[in-house]
Amino acid sequence: MEQFDGYTYVEGGVCAAKGFRANGLNCGLNPDKEKKDLGMVVSDRVCSTAAVYTTNKVKGAPILVTKRHLKATGGKARAVIVNSKNANTCNADGEAKAERMAELAAAELGIPTDEVVVASTGVIGHILPIEPIEKHIRELTEGLSYDGNAKAAQAIMTTDTVQKEVAVSFRLGDVTCTLGGMAKGSGMIHPNMATTLNFVTTDVAISTELIQKALSEVTKITYNCLSIDGDTSTNDMVCVMANGMAGNTEIRTEQEDYACFKQALYIVMMNMTRMLAKDGEGATKLIECTVSEAGDLDTAITVAKSVIRSPLFKCAVFGEDANWGRILCAVGYAEAEFDIHKVDVDLASAKGVLPVCRSGSGKDFSEEFAKEVLSEDEIQVRISLHEGDVSATAWGCDLTYDYVRINGDYRS
């Protein structure tokens, strides 16, 4: 992982920060008893809480319930309950079931129902059986621990092949603070937001208003720059909970401590974004596209995302074919204003850098070296617009035979 001055990667995911417990288990939603399908994260203290959600007009019932809860509490929460295997979306009884999940968690934890965030992921349009959750809620809460992060991370996985966790520690004045998170997502991922469930916890003391501002701004340059397959899900959510247990002076203004907190949030969310892209359904390669020397941030983001979303280019990466014309084509149809005749493109990996385009025109290169560069499992696309000093990065993966296979029998 990329290193950042003043920030140290630590273990623990959502339990890395002080005062957070977690757990995960199989309650029976997933018939494979070896796979966890119900998870929980709980703070010892009430948290300033912020969230961003899917832009799909069809929204999962848990999102509607969570929005109501956070509005009722003014952005305060203590716990997250989440299930996989069933999205609880497009069901007539969906909101009642989501509310019941919150009630069950609240009753066991002895907290108000409105202080529970609810999330679900899995198949859309299937009725969510509430009985397995009712039957196992006590076991779930009794098993909460300060090192239960891995169990919770496993409980939110669907077609993911690996659990996704990252955490960092940093200093605010003379106080050591920690921020960590877990994520799930492998397919049906497309801006804006990417199709994922993401939970971030921190022991920083920060106002609800500023945590929401930081989350919205960091989401724009991380999760909103992630695309696997062009489909935007109905259940996307990023939730950040801050319990203040590090003991720093509460961040209420956009000063130095706020910038340090926001950078920590960026580091965790950026790394989880990369993990999500690399674990795309059927993926064999991570694609990272960085657009530099843009005139403004929106242009840089738009061009980078356009390349990452191109099915033809994704197929070329899978085939290890340096078909750079597909990159320039995607740059050209990006909805942004710039001079295509200034554009430079390089392909890069651990094997080296391959210049393929200068000033909008092709550059001779060795096909043998190109194959060597593209044989790696992490491929970089570097695009220079030569119109300013702003840059942005987007993340995606190659498009493979296995993507079709996985989604051809997803419900089974």
Question: 199 and 52 in one domain?
Answer: yes
Question: 211 and 139 in one domain?
Answer: yes
Q: What are phi and psi of 267, to 5 degrees?
A: -60, -45
Question: 319 and 261 in one domain?
Answer: no
User: Does the residue 85 lie in any domain?
Assistant: yes
Q: Among positive and negative, which fits the CA dihedral 230, 231, 233, 234?
A: positive
Q: What is the pLDDT of residue 231?
A: 45
User: Does the residue 194 lie in any domain?
Assistant: yes
Average pLDDT estimate for 313-326: 94
Greater confidence (408 vs 176) lies with 176
Average pLDDT estimate for 16-21: 98
Contacts of 31 (CB under 8 A, 6+ apart): none
**For the ranges 125-134, 153-162, 316-325, which has the lowest average pLDDT?**
153-162
- CATH number for the domain harbouring residue 29: 3.60.70.12
Per-residue pLDDT for 191 more than 60? Answer: no
Per-residue pLDDT for 194 more than 50? Answer: no
Q: What is the pLDDT of residues 77-117, one digit of tens each?
A: 999 999 999 989 888 899 999 999 999 999 999 999 999 99
42, two tokens: 């709980």
Per-residue pLDDT for 411 more than 60? Answer: no
Question: 239 and 267 in one domain?
Answer: yes
Q: What is the pLDDT of residue 190?
A: 46
Average pLDDT estimate for 6-30: 98
Q: What is the pLDDT of residue 406?
A: 62
Q: What is the pLDDT of residue 14?
A: 98
User: Does the residue 2 lie in any domain?
Assistant: no
Label residue 341 left, alpha or beta by phi (over 0 means left) and psi (-120 to 50 means alpha). Answer: alpha
Average pLDDT estimate for 233-245: 85
Per-residue pLDDT for 292 more than 80? Answer: yes
Q: Name the one residue in this structure whose structure tokens are 């679900």.
A: 120
Q: Indicate the residue among 278, 303, 332 that finishes a domain.
A: 278
Q: Indicate the residue among 249, 278, 307 that finishes a domain.
A: 278
SS3 state of residue 329: helix
Question: 303 and 267 in one domain?
Answer: no
Average pLDDT of every residue of the chain = 91
Q: Indicate the residue among 278, 305, 335 that finishes a domain.
A: 278
Per-residue pLDDT for 76 more than 90? Answer: yes
User: Does the residue 1 lie in any domain?
Assistant: no
Known active-site residue 178 = no
Question: 294 and 274 in one domain?
Answer: no
Per-residue pLDDT for 361 more than 50? Answer: yes
Contacts of 343 (CB under 8 A, 6+ apart): 328, 331, 357, 359, 360, 383, 384, 385, 386
User: Does the residue 375 lie in any domain?
Assistant: yes
Catalytic residue among 49, 54, 195, 201: 195
Q: What is the pLDDT of residue 17?
A: 98
Question: 64 and 43 in one domain?
Answer: yes
Question: 215 and 355 in one domain?
Answer: no
Closest among 375, 189, 380 to 291, alpha carbons compared: 380
Q: What is the pLDDT of residue 313?
A: 93
Q: What is the pLDDT of residue 189?
A: 45
Q: What is the pLDDT of residue 49?
A: 97
Question: 255 and 366 in one domain?
Answer: no
Question: 87 and 223 in one domain?
Answer: yes
Closest among 264, 331, 279 to 164, alpha carbons compared: 279
Q: What is the pTM of this model?
A: 0.86
* Cross-strand pairs, 82: 39, 119
113, two tokens: 């129902």
Residue range of the domain that includes 366: 286-408
**Domains in the chain: how many in total?**
2
Question: 107 and 253 in one domain?
Answer: yes
Question: 400 and 274 in one domain?
Answer: no
CA distance linking residue 56 with residue 378, whole number of Å: 30
Q: What is the pLDDT of residue 223?
A: 85
List Cα–Cα distances, 189 to 21, 66, 103, 283, 369, in angstroms. Answer: 29, 21, 30, 13, 32
Q: What is the pLDDT of residues 132-175, one digit of tens each?
A: 999 999 999 999 999 999 999 999 998 788 899 999 999 999 99
Q: What is the pLDDT of residue 192?
A: 52
128 — pLDDT class (breaks 50, 70, 90): very high
- CATH number for the domain harbouring residue 317: 3.10.20.340
Average pLDDT estimate for 201-221: 95
